[in-house]
Copies of this chain bind each other. A is one copy, B any other.
Amino acid sequence: MNILAFGEVMLRFTVADKMMLEQNDNLRVTTVGTGVNLLSSLAHFGYNTSILTALPDNPIGKKAAADLRKLGISDKKLVYQGKSMGSFFVELGHGARPERVTYQDRLSSSFCETDVADYDFEKALSGIDIVHICGISLSLTESTRNAALKLAKEAHERNKIVCFDFNYRMSLNEDNTHEVMKKRYQEILQYVDVLFGSKRDLTDLLDYQETNETKLYEKFTHDYKINFFAGSKRVYRDGKKYFEGFLFHHDKIFESAPRELDILDRIGSGDAFASGVITGLLEKWDFVDTLEFAIANSVLAQASMNDTPIFEKQDVFNYIDSEGKNDLLR
């Protein structure tokens, strides 16, 4: 099974020792991004993965490519062009103090400046079974938007399974109207088979009015011929945090049991969930097992440093089997 993801690769600078940036000059740099996180997880589950993106042709881009390879992602389809990578700083949280994420400019990155014409989609898709596209591309630049749309369309036409993640962020769209963004998402959704998002994406971004969740998802997936629609979220009940998810297929919502969270680093939880769902679909597990696997993968990821999950299937099964008693074993 060969999986291709298209999306931005970013540098993450994590401040050391759970300190704040103003307190500590020691950083750890890692190579992350929705596509990276998803593919790393899938590679560790045993699939062949490769990424389609652009990196600068300098030591920074070469370092990122080396990191991608280390994560199990092929760098053969990388475009080296431009001079920058988007980046963000992470200050890990503790208790009352939340994890804090601060972005540096990302619009001048190699990825954001690489034009649709600079990619060879035909070659990129050759031998690929599944394509994953991150919705952030629709917000960034005209180049990333065009490339995402074209890739979705071409993959769809070639009968590849197209996965798409809403990943809609208001903060990235200060200059875009609601209508403009809605149209962009509507355009790409027609090529999508497996979709990751939330109820709010449907109501707030796509303006669906239906309030009954099942009917809403039924109508929406019917409108766009979406095969699977899934999503996850953190919830807070009685002073405890949980992680839970859903998977909608045909006319039915499947819901996971919630799992308690003890967060070390929360970033990438949605990507870990998505890779779990894709794995369940590929393996044709039943949907409840798929959700349990996806939630467990994400809970493990949130109990780990860095965005990027590197658990093998057996690690996830062990956690599920242990029923939270992992630490009791010698």
Tell me the residues in window 18-65 of chain A with beta carbons closer than 8 Å to chain B beta carbons. 18-30, 58-60, 62-63
Choose the segment among A143-151, A275-283, A317-325 that binds chain B (4+ C-beta atoms closer than 8 Å). Answer: A317-325
A137 at the interface (CB under 8 A from B): no
Residue of B nearest to A323 (CB): B236
In the complex the two chains form, is A26's CB within 8 Å of B23's CB?
A: no
Number of copies: 6
Given A28-B26, A60-B104, are A98 and B20 also a contact pair (CB < 8 Å)?
A: no
A257 at the interface (CB under 8 A from B): no
Given A259-B96, A303-B94, are A236 and B27 also a contact pair (CB < 8 Å)?
A: no
A163 at the interface (CB under 8 A from B): no
In the complex the two chains form, is A326's CB within 8 Å of B102's CB?
A: no
In the complex the two chains form, is B262's CB within 8 Å of A94's CB?
A: yes
Residue of B nearest to A263 (CB): B327
- Expressed in whole angstroms, the minimum distance between the Cβ of A81 and any Cβ of chain B is 13
In the complex the two chains form, is A63's CB within 8 Å of B22's CB?
A: yes
A303 to B19 alpha-carbon distance, docked (Å): 10
A7 at the interface (CB under 8 A from B): no
In the complex the two chains form, is B94's CB within 8 Å of A324's CB?
A: no
A13 at the interface (CB under 8 A from B): yes
A123 at the interface (CB under 8 A from B): no
A180 to B128 alpha-carbon distance, docked (Å): 50
Beyond A105-B109, A239-B260, 17 extra complex contacts between A and B, CB < 8 Å: A13-B27, A19-B304, A20-B310, A22-B70, A22-B310, A23-B306, A26-B26, A60-B104, A66-B72, A83-B103, A83-B105, A84-B104, A97-B300, A97-B319, A105-B105, A239-B324, A263-B327
